[in-house]
Amino acid sequence: MNQKSPGWLVAGSALVALVGAIVTVVYFFQPWRSCDYEDTSVGCAMLSADATVMAVAMVVTLAAVVVFVVALLLARNRSAAR
């Protein structure tokens, strides 16, 4: 690994975590959904494909947060060693 790796890991994992969190929130509220038995889109039942996408986004977000924390620790250790 070169010396810029922790910086790229921090930025990349932060971006992936942000996108995953946005996808999770959007799929939770489902603004495109409409149903006869509920006047808000949040009250409509989630389809299995939507639940899968939301679950994958949640797992990716959690993994990106772990990588983000590890990259921050690596960057901190490298700066302390100098």
- Asked whether 27 and 57 are in contact (CB, 8 A), the reply is yes
Tens digits of per-residue pLDDT, 5-14?
Answer: 678 888 999 9
Tens digits of per-residue pLDDT, 36-80?
Answer: 888 887 788 889 999 999 999 999 999 999 999 998 988 887 766
3-state secondary structure the chain: CCCCHHHHHHHHHHHHHHHHHHHHHHHHHCCCCCECCECCHHHCCCCHHHHHHHHHHHHHHHHHHHHHHHHHHHHHHHHHHC
Q: 10 Å Cβ neighbour count for 13?
A: 20
How many residues are given for the chain?
82
- For the entire predicted model, the pTM comes to 0.80
